[in-house]
């Protein structure tokens, strides 16, 4: 799934949502059904800091029902922590 959304599987835009099972959050945003956790937020502000953007949101709902290791990407590899 991470490879798909990183653009490494040849799918773009909404095509990427054809992979996996999705539900709809309170705000109408898509949520991956197998996600360990999800935060459904209302956009409050976006700030630019050098080469990055900081997105600030108000949490409206929390989701997730699974326990397991989180996913991390470091040194061009995926791993669990």
Residue ranges per structural domain of the chain: 2-63
Structurally, at CATH architecture level, domain 2-63 sits in: Roll (2.30)
Nearest to 3 by CA among 50, 52, 71: 71
CB 71 within 8 Å of CB 80: yes
Structure tokens of 57?
Answer: 């949101």
pLDDT, tens only, 3-59? 998 888 999 999 999 999 999 999 999 999 988 999 999 999 999 999 999 999 999
CB 40 within 8 Å of CB 59: yes
Length of the chain: 81
User: 22 pairs with which residues across the strands?
Assistant: 32
Global pTM exceeds 0.85: no
**Residue 9, pLDDT score:** 92
């Amino acid at each position: 799934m991470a490879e798909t959304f990183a653009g490494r599987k040849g799918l773009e835009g909404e095509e990427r949502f054809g992979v996996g099972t999705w539900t709809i959050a309170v705000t109408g945003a898509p949520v991956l059904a197998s996600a360990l956790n999800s935060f459904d937020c209302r956009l409050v502000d976006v700030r630019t800091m050098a080469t990055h953007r900081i997105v600030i949101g108000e949490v409206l709902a929390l989701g997730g029902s699974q326990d397991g290791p989180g996913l991390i990407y470091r040194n061009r590899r995926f791993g669990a922590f």
